[in-house]
Structure 1
Amino acid sequence: MISITTSSSEQDLEGILKLHKENLSSNLSIEEKQNQGFVTVAHSMIDLKKMQQYEPNIIAKDGEKVIAYVLGMTAKSKDDIPILVPMFNGFNYIEYKGKPISEYAYIVVGQVCVDKNYRGQGLFDKSYQAYREYFQTLYDFAVTEVATTNLRSINAHKRLGFEEIYRAKDENGLEWSVVIWDWRK
């Protein structure tokens, strides 16, 4: 039986990390990335524990197995993962509705992933709906960056209601789309 809940134990974080590693861009073939999508930033258990101290993650479980996750990161964790510092710093100048993102109460989707054996069952949408239900009274919106080469993720985020507000390339030439899911609408 599949349940959607918040991460609360080290076992939950281990399940997230296992699923994360299975879908990390560097561990997938070009064909898998094109057809199934991928996650880009390699998180460690230390990273997940740092994020968890501020907000839980939304996870879907089949029994005890983590089969989907939506990670939550806040401005409090902006200095905890060095590779993400530029994204958080960008929120000081990337504007949404006339003011910088950093002036809003926001939560960052630190990544989202569904186990390949459970795709096509609505878990992406259900997990994100649980994310919204959990966080919408605390934050104005969810914001994240999606690699523009990750068409599966771009399309899934659009379908859910995320809107692109900014696009830029990183120091490696990878183009990113900054998208927001405004919960005040």
Structure 2
Amino acid sequence: MKITYSSTKTDKELVQILRLQQENLYRNVSNEEKLAEGFVTVEHSYELLKEMNDFCPHTIAIDDQGNLAGYALSMHPSFRDKIDVLKPMFQVIDPLIASEEKYMLMGQICVSKNHRKQGVFRGLYAHMKEQLEQEYITIVTEIDALNNRSMQAHKAVGFEEMARYTANGQEWVVVRMQL
């Protein structure tokens, strides 16, 4: 199956992202699936997803049938106050990142169940990196420490741990990848 990577351009693509996000939200996935396949934590509204996309387009993977195979959300640090669960992360990373360092947050990455273990995760980051490297120095994200699948996948594509912290009863691991 051929996968094409691009930046989001249409409202339909944003709606497809939200649908895939719902299918993989922490609360909508069984404990067994969380351990084996991973999960996503943050739930975005259409309005916020569009606002983030208007600032810096998200990265998507589309299969040869036109289905969304996965996404990686771009979240500029200027959105720091828009998502409550991410606010503690900024308190942790602000002292660790030089004020002049331009970075982009990978706001969330998800691969559909039908497209896992086919290189889509790696492809999403490769496209995102290509789109951002002219303007930004690093991509930063955080991962729920219980999400072993995501931890391993991020390490495999070149992310390195910056910090760990606990907020709202969850342990988070902040990672970064140089562009």
- TM-score (ref. length: structure 1): 0.91
How far apart, in 1, do the equivalents of 2:85 and 2:166 lie?
14
- Report the counterpart of residue 8 of structure 2 in structure 1: 7
Residue identity (%): 40
- Report the counterpart of residue 35 of structure 2 in structure 1: 34
- Report the counterpart of residue 115 of structure 1 in structure 2: 112
How far apart, in 1, do the equivalents of 2:98 and 2:66 lie?
37
Q: Report the secondary structure of 2:164's partner residue.
A: strand
1:155 aligns with 2:148: no
Q: 2:164 aligns with which of 158, 164, 167?
A: 167
Kept after mapping to 2: 8 A contact 1:50/1:77:
no
How far apart, in 2, do the equivalents of 1:81 and 1:146 lie?
15
How far apart, in 2, do the equivalents of 1:39 and 1:158 lie?
17
- Report the counterpart of residue 76 of structure 1 in structure 2: 78
Kept after mapping to 1: 8 A contact 2:70/2:110:
yes
Q: Report the secondary structure of 2:124's partner residue.
A: helix
Kept after mapping to 1: 8 A contact 2:88/2:167:
no
Kept after mapping to 1: 8 A contact 2:104/2:140:
yes
- Report the counterpart of residue 182 of structure 1 in structure 2: 178
The RMSD of aligned alpha carbons is: 1.3
- Report the counterpart of residue 137 of structure 1 in structure 2: 134
Structure 1 unmatched ranges of 5 or more: none
TM superposition shift of 1:17? 0.5
TM superposition shift of 1:101? 5.0
- TM-score (ref. length: structure 2): 0.94
How far apart, in 1, do the equivalents of 2:136 and 2:86 lie?
20
How far apart, in 2, do the equivalents of 1:12 and 1:46 lie?
13
Q: Report the secondary structure of 2:55's partner residue.
A: coil
How far apart, in 1, do the equivalents of 2:67 and 2:46 lie?
17
TM superposition shift of 1:122? 0.5
How far apart, in 2, do the equivalents of 1:69 and 1:41 lie?
14
TM superposition shift of 1:92? 1.9
Kept after mapping to 2: 8 A contact 1:54/1:76:
no
Structure 2 unmatched ranges of 5 or more: none
Q: Which runs of 4+ in 1 moved over 4 A?
A: none
How many residues are treated as equivalent by the alignment?
177
